[in-house]
Every structure is written in C-alpha cells, then in structure tokens.
Amino acid sequence: MRDGFDRASTNRIAAQAGVSIGSLYQYFPSKEALVMAVAERHNRDLMNIVRRALAEVAAAPVRTGVRTLVAAAITAHAHDPALHRVLSEQTPRTGPLAGLEPFNREAHALLRAYLEDHRDELRATDLDLAAFVCMTSIEALTHTAVLYRPDVLEGPAREPLADEATQLVLGYLLPS
Amino acid sequence: MRDGFDRASTNRIAAQAGVSIGSLYQYFPSKEALVMAVAERHNRDLMNIVRRALAEVAAAPVRTGVRTLVAAAITAHAHDPALHRVLSEQTPRTGPLAGLEPFNREAHALLRAYLEDHRDELRATDLDLAAFVCMTSIEALTHTAVLYRPDVLEGPAREPLADEATQLVLGYLLPS
DNA sequence: CCAGAATATGAGCGATCGCTCGTGTTCCAT
DNA sequence: ATGGAACACGAGCGATCGCTCATATTCTGG
C-alpha cells in the first residue's frame, strides 16, 4: 500500500540525507514544507527547460518549432523521472499541495502566446483550446513514454516517438 | 498530506459502509484486497464501454469511427470521475496493485486490432506505435478535461473537446 | 424451542507516522 | 581559554494506521 509520499517517512528521509530528523526539522518546519521545496525546485527546473525552448522557437514557424518543443518536453521528462512520476501522479490537486498547479498554467500560457504570435499559420481559431490540446497531448505522450515505454524513445528511427508526436501536433495545428 | 488511499482508512471505510471493521474483514482479507476489488469493478465498467464502442465501429471507416471512440472515452471518464482520478493517479504501477495494468494493455490491443483492420485507410505503418499515440492522446485529453477543464466539454460548439480530439487523431492517422 | 453455524461487533494490539525537546557538539568572538 | 550562539542529535510522545479476536447477535434446520 505505502508508496510515493508515504513511503518517504521523515525518519527515512533524514537517514537517507545523512542527517538526524532533529536537524531536518531545523530547516523544514514540516514534512509538507519539505515536499513543497522539493516539488518547487523540480518544477523550476522543468519550467526553465520549457521557457528556454519556447524562447528559442519564438521566431521560428510552427512547422519547425513544434519539433523543438517536443524535444524539450522529452528532455524535461527525462530529468529525474522517478521524482517526476511521484510528483505528477501523487500530488493531490486539492489540499495543502495544490500550489503546484501554476506550473501547468504558466506552460499553457506560454504555449498559447507562441501560437497567437503565429496565428496566421494555423487552422484553429480558439487558440486557448488549441494550446490545451497540444500541451496535454505532448505531455501525456512524453510522460507515458519516458515512464512506461522507454522502447519508443530509441527505436529503428532515431526517435520514433518524437517524430510521431510532432506529426500529431502539426497535423492538428496546420491547415491541411 | 493524507489523501487518496491513505485518507480512506479501514475504519472510515467500514463506518461509511455502515458496517463494523470486523465485518468488513470477513469479506476482504486486507485493505489491499478491498482496493483491488473496487479497482477491478471500476476497470471492468470502463472496459465494457471501450469494448462496446470498438465493436460498434469495427466495420466503420476510421474517418467516422474515431469520433465514436472519442465519445466513448469521454463517457468512460465521466463514469465516477472522483474514483477514476484516485485509481489512475494514485495507483502505484509497481507493488501489489500493479495488476491493474492489463486494463490499458487490453484497450491498446483492441485499438491496434481496429487500426490493423483498416490499415489501408491509414498513413502510418507502425500500427502498434500509432495505437499507443492515439490511446495516450485521447485518454489524456478526456481525462484532463473531465477532471480539470469541464468547461471545454460543453462550450459554444456542442462538444468542443470531442471535436478537437477527433481532429487531432484523424489528422494524425489519415494521409494528408 | 433450541443448539450450533454464520455473521456482526468494536476495544485494543503492535507498528508506524510526523514531530518535539532535552541534550550533546561545533564554532567563533573575545 | 572561555562563554554563548548555532547546529546536530535521536529517544520517545501522541495520533493513527491495518488488522485481530473474544464476545454478542442473528439465522436456520430439526
């Protein structure tokens, strides 16, 4: 039964970190604060990858930009996958840890801004909805692939999944 | 901190069910078994929806069939969303509850079989990968929408999300 | 009506949790 | 060298967990 957050008891965390629980509680007022600190650092790392990628493609057309964004999503998910899995699958959206939501919000807002800058290349009109569809699809594909299907990340083609995800999103965004 | 499985203590479950814990443990040998029973019933319900939808579209072309499959995915996710969220987000993929994976496996296999029956309509060649991409995308879109974006399920258009998801998948599957 | 089987009950056991606090140790200005 | 601030320590508190078991209640065939 116990897994994720609950497997990480404060005593175990302290032992693993090589300090006593007493010391641990001098730096973090509660287990919740400790988890928040870990989660926020992780999310900051991820957002840096996302922001850098979006800045990099800001001037690039959607047709080539999406590929870069997909690659960035894979890179982001490959960054400490075990931690990412626990945080994304076990963080309650309600309750004291709900503050992690802004990460998704910002990524969504940034992607929407990029799409709006390139709206003349796109088929869709509701760019908020389009950004939601792209974000969710890319996130799910890379997330699932990194955690459960590492085989599709390095196949006969160099990166089959990245190619497919790019196809998926471009076929959706661009006019046919 | 406590949420999901851990918020549901055996004593609370028993009280909520209107029986004593003693009685509860006459029917389920452990909390794990109880959770498994709940999860299996839920997954059976979902698989029935998926199987029925795939049987219904078996002879239909991809262009019209995908829309039905997307609708089925939304229906499935709308079936007890709170339970679905706990099961899908908090069930550890490793450990004693790992037995829930076959659900995804079967759905993936069924979709792949459908795609193979219609391979002459499709652009892709690796239908296993294509099934993975479609499953993951549709699942993520409907899952996220039902749980966190109910607004995109009933907008100005009758079902904006269903339309977008169908566009996404068809644009990916069909030759341009 | 009754014996025994089947079922229901909940106090409480041992384990584990997050966390406290009295104590020991290290460091540095004087 | 010394006194005090800052830091580290871990035994153990109170709460809660999953679960047991001695006991009470209900059902059923003769």
**Domain-wise residue ranges, chain B:** 32-173
Least confident of A21-30, A35-44, B98-107: B98-107
Q: Residue type at B124? A: A
Mean pLDDT for chain B overall: 89
- Per-residue pLDDT, A154: 78
Structure tokens at A5: 């957050």
Does pLDDT of A115 surpass 60?
Answer: yes
Say whether residue A126 is in contact with chain B using an 8 A CB cutoff.
yes
Structure tokens at B50: 């998926």
Closest residue to D17 measured CA to C1′: B9
Helix (H, G, I), strand (E, B), or coil: what is residue A123? coil
Say whether residue B32 is in contact with chain A using an 8 A CB cutoff.
yes
Using a 7 Å cut-off to protein CB atoms, list the covered nucleotides of chain C.
Answer: 7-12, 16-22
Q: Check the CA dihedral A76-A80-A85-A88 and report its sign.
A: negative
- Per-residue pLDDT, A88: 81
Top residue of B35, B137, B141 to mutate, by most chain A CBs within 10 Å, is B137
- Per-residue pLDDT, B26: 95
CA distance B48 to chain A (A): 24
Least confident of A78-87, A97-106, A122-131: A97-106
Confidence of residue A89 (pLDDT cuts 50, 70, 90): confident
- Per-residue pLDDT, B86: 85
Does pLDDT of B10 surpass 90?
Answer: yes
Check residue B176 and report its DSSP letter.
Answer: -
Q: Which CATH number fits the domain A35-173, given the four candidates 1.10.357.10, 3.10.100.10, 3.50.30.30, 3.40.47.10?
A: 1.10.357.10
User: Which tops the pLDDT comparison, A52 or B105?
Assistant: A52
Q: Which CATH number fits the domain B32-173, given the four candidates 1.10.1060.10, 1.10.357.10, 3.40.50.1820, 3.40.50.300?
A: 1.10.357.10
Per-residue 3-state assignment (H helix, E strand, C coil) for B11-48: HHHHHHHCCCHHHHHHHCCCHHHHHHHHHHHHHHHHHH
Check residue A6 and report its DSSP letter.
Answer: G
Percentage of chain A surpassing pLDDT 70? 90
Percentage of chain B surpassing pLDDT 70? 91
A144 touches strand C (CB under 7 A): no
Confidence of residue B13 (pLDDT cuts 50, 70, 90): very high
Structure tokens at A148: 């459960």
Give residue for tokens 């452990």. B30
Confidence of residue A140 (pLDDT cuts 50, 70, 90): very high
Residues A63 and A122: their CA atoms lie apart, in Å, by 10
Let me know if B161 is exposed, middle or buried by CB neighbors in 10 A (0-12, 13-18, 19+).
Answer: buried
Does pLDDT of B95 surpass 60?
Answer: no
Neighbour tally for A161: CB within 10 Å: 25
Say whether residue B130 is in contact with chain A using an 8 A CB cutoff.
yes
- Per-residue pLDDT, A124: 84
Does pLDDT of B37 surpass 70?
Answer: yes
Structure tokens at A10: 């404060």
Does pLDDT of B93 surpass 90?
Answer: no
Instruction: Find the nucleotide nearest B25 (Cα to C1′).
Output: D19
Alpha helices in A58-159 (DSSP H): 62-78, 81-90, 101-117, 127-148
Of A94, A129, A168, the CB nearest to B172: A168
Let me know if A143 is exposed, middle or buried by CB neighbors in 10 A (0-12, 13-18, 19+).
Answer: buried
